[in-house]
Amino acid sequence: METYRWKDEGRTLEVDVREGNRFPDGEPLTAHSVERAFDEVMLWASPHPPGTQFNFAPGTTLEVTGEHGVRFRFPEPDGQALGKLRAMHVMSTPFWEGPGFGYERQGSGEGHW
Amino acid sequence: MAVTQMDPFAATWLQREDRTSKVRLTANPDYWDKDRGPRLREVVLRNDLTPEEALDLVCTTEGEVDVVTEVSPADAEKVENSEHAELVSTEAIFTVAGVINRDAEGLPLADRRARLALNLAVDRERLVRETMFGRATPLAGLTPPAAVPEEGRLKPHSHDPGRAAELWNEARSETGGGERPLRVAALGGLEDVARAVAADLEGALSVGVEVVVYRGEEELPVRRRLAEKKLAQGWDVLILGHGAQFAESVVAELHRAFAGATGEFRAGPAVPEFESLFAELAAKTAPPEQAEVSQRIDRLVRDESLALSLCAPRALYAVNKHVDFTPYRTSFEFAETSVDDGHWSRR
């Protein structure tokens, strides 16, 4: 993350993704990497091993605003969102298509993020 | 295994450790922040050793183990006096506290005065000195000092056994109970803490105190029963350690766990004032405002004695003398870690 901006009294969070970065496998890090991670984490009811305190509320959405920009919208203000983002691991495409967080070994991402 | 509740939806994972014997981490040489690293080519995490074996290897050998995490305060001196390792420590966002069972039958723990009596009965300075060998800080509420600037820290409960006895007897005479012994239980290697707390409670409150220690495989069913909250607990105070993964979410992890409606350690009804403050915190996005509400939550926990506040232990590491290791307050990281020319891997 390069920078972030809160808007709409805590219901919107805009994040600028740092430019020029690559995953260890060479894939560039873009807003679409963050979008994929968000889509993956939202698949599960309780993906994080510590518990559901890191879940985004149901109804939270992510919109790609540019090659390096994303916008989160929360149904209610979520001042804990930056902490939750620390638990949302952003990975490259081969990771999601391969092992995932427990996908390959367990057949599920519940409790494995 | 996850324990879930539906309204509000929440889940707690209870996991057994099921690790491969070794995990090899390879550095990303393209990492953007060159100041932080990587300064190591690879790191091997060894899960094939007991904590005792690992500590022995780092202290007495080279080339086997370079860093051991979660060193017990009782072992710190051994590391300091060892041939090959040095002790590295930091204040940590980790709390040792007692869950107070506000639903306990036969004791007045639903009454704030009785819970306050428990807190006033404990001599935290002695607890830190004798069970943590001085490598901890007394707690006020549940927020470890490492998470708050010095000027914003709350004052811990004083040690006042006389006032503790008065409050205990007031609560007991008005609400009944208190004729049976108090059961203090401990998880995760905190037996010494439990015995010190039990001695303080026995001395101050003139009650019998039984100590129960849950070890190894016994811990999981105790944690499950507490997370489910359907069956009566087998203890009145359960002493455990709990940390926050991220400095931004201390209250969401610690205070919510002990006192929140979705708290896996809460033993007793949800507390409306706590929930109201927690909702207020969720609506704050500016760090100063978050810090202010977080402090009010910690003050509520302290003043209402929603937990038995004990201490915040320092995180202790045994580190090979040729490794420059930077500890973090939250998790175990290698970002700034490097080795010098005398390290076994470079000789």
ipTM given for this complex: 0.89
Residue B180 lies in a domain: yes
Average pLDDT, chain B: 94
Same domain for B77 and B59? yes
Average pLDDT, chain A: 93
Among candidate residues A38, A83, A77, A87, the one with its CA nearest the CA of residue B252: A83
In angstroms, rounded to a whole number, what is the distance separating the alpha carbons of residues A69 and B98?
Answer: 44
In angstroms, rounded to a whole number, what is the distance separating the alpha carbons of residues B306 and B299?
Answer: 10
Residue B101 lies in a domain: yes
Any chain B CB within 8 A of the CB of A87? yes
Same domain for B198 and B118? yes
- Domains identified in chain B, total number: 2
Q: What is the tens place of the pLDDT at every residue in B59-110?
A: 999 999 999 999 999 999 999 999 999 999 999 999 999 999 999 999 999 9
Same domain for B119 and B229? yes
Query: Is it the case that residue B218 has pLDDT exceeding 90?
Result: yes
In angstroms, rounded to a whole number, what is the distance separating the alpha carbons of residues B72 and B92?
Answer: 14
Within 8 A by CB and 6+ apart from B81, the residues are: none
pLDDT average, residue stretch A59-64: 98
CB B181 within 8 A of CB B234: no
Give residue B245's pLDDT: 83
Pairing of the two strands B237-243 and B182-186: parallel
pTM of the prediction?
0.93
Same domain for B137 and B62? no
Percent helix, strand, coil in chain A (nearest 5)? 30, 20, 50
Among candidate residues B156, B113, B148, B149, the one with its CA nearest the CA of residue B302: B156
- Give backbone dihedrals phi and psi of A56, rounded to 5 degrees, phi first: -80, 150
Same domain for B119 and B74? no
In angstroms, rounded to a whole number, what is the distance separating the alpha carbons of residues B321 and B146?
Answer: 26
Give how far Cα A104 sits from Cα of A95, A98, A101, B21, B85, Å: 10, 7, 8, 19, 39
Same domain for B231 and B101? yes
Q: What is the tens place of the pLDDT at every residue in A17-37?
A: 999 999 988 999 999 999 999
Residue B277 lies in a domain: no
Query: Is it the case that residue B41 has pLDDT exceeding 70?
Result: yes
Encode burial over B333-345: b for 16+ CB neighbours within 10 A, e otherwise.
ebeebebeeebee
Any chain B CB within 8 A of the CB of A64? no
Same domain for B203 and B149? yes
- Give backbone dihedrals phi and psi of B68, rounded to 5 degrees, phi first: -120, 125
Q: Please give the residue of chain A at the shortest CA–CA distance from B3.
A: A51
Give residue A65's pLDDT: 98
Q: How far is B320 from chain A (nearest CA, A)?
A: 28
Name the CA radius of gyration of chain B, rounded.
22
User: What tokens were used for A76?
Assistant: 């209610």
Give residue A103's pLDDT: 87
- Counted across chains A and B, CB pairs separated by less than 8 A come out at 77
Q: Please give the residue of chain B at the shortest CA–CA distance from A12.
A: B285
Q: What is the tens place of the pLDDT at every residue in B153-177?
A: 999 999 999 999 999 999 999 887 7
Same domain for B231 and B104? yes
Same domain for B129 and B83? no
Q: Which residue has the higher pLDDT, B246 or B239?
A: B239
Query: Is it the case that residue B189 has pLDDT exceeding 70?
Result: yes
Give residue B276's pLDDT: 97
Within 8 A by CB and 6+ apart from A50, the residues are: A87, B13, B245, B253
Any chain B CB within 8 A of the CB of A1? no
Verify whether the Cβ–Cβ distance A24 to B28 is below 8 Å. yes
Residue B173 lies in a domain: yes
Verify whether the Cβ–Cβ distance A50 to B13 is below 8 Å. yes
Instruction: Kindly list the residues from chain B whose CB atom is less than 8 angstroms away from the CB atom of residue A20.
Output: 32
Q: What is the tens place of the pLDDT at every residue in B255-309?
A: 999 999 999 999 999 999 999 999 999 999 999 999 999 999 999 999 999 999 9
Among candidate residues B255, B111, B97, B130, the one with its CA nearest the CA of residue B172: B111
Instruction: Kindly list the residues from chain B whose CB atom is less than 8 angstroms away from the CB atom of residue A86.
Output: 245-246, 248-249
Same domain for B174 and B78? no
Residue B39 lies in a domain: no
Residue B296 lies in a domain: no
Same domain for B103 and B77? no
In angstroms, rounded to a whole number, what is the distance separating the alpha carbons of residues A109 and A112?
Answer: 5
pLDDT average, residue stretch B40-69: 96
Indicate the residue of A20, A51, A78 with minimum beta-carbon distance to B264.
A51
Best to test chain A binding among B246, B294, B333 (most A CBs inside 10 Å):
B246
In angstroms, rounded to a whole number, what is the distance separating the alpha carbons of residues B329 and B322?
Answer: 22
Verify whether the Cβ–Cβ distance A79 to B11 is below 8 Å. no
Kindly report the CATH number assigned to the domain that includes residue B221.
3.10.105.10
- β-bridge mates for residue B308, sequence order: B98
Residue B263 lies in a domain: no
Within 8 A by CB and 6+ apart from B108, the residues are: B114, B168, B171, B172, B174, B175, B176, B177, B178
Query: Is it the case that residue B18 has pLDDT exceeding 90?
Result: no
Instruction: Kindly list the residues from chain A whose CB atom is less than 8 angstroms away from the CB atom of residue B30.
Output: 21-22, 24
Instruction: Kindly list the residues from chain A whose CB atom is less than 8 angstroms away from the CB atom of residue B13.
Output: 46, 49-51, 111
Query: Is it the case that residue B33 has pLDDT exceeding 90?
Result: no
Domain residue spans in chain A?
3-106
Instruction: Kindly list the residues from chain A whose CB atom is less than 8 angstroms away from the CB atom of residue B282.
Output: 76-80
Residue B135 lies in a domain: yes
In angstroms, rounded to a whole number, what is the distance separating the alpha carbons of residues B317 and B73?
Answer: 10
- The CATH class of the A3-106 domain is alpha beta
Give residue B17's pLDDT: 64
Verify whether the Cβ–Cβ distance B248 to A45 is below 8 Å. no
For B133, the domain range is: 94-243+301-313
Q: Please give the residue of chain B at the shortest CA–CA distance from A24.
A: B28
Residue A49 pLDDT class (50, 70, 90 cuts)? confident
Query: Is it the case that residue B31 has pLDDT exceeding 90?
Result: no
Any chain B CB within 8 A of the CB of A22? yes
Same domain for B326 and B194? no
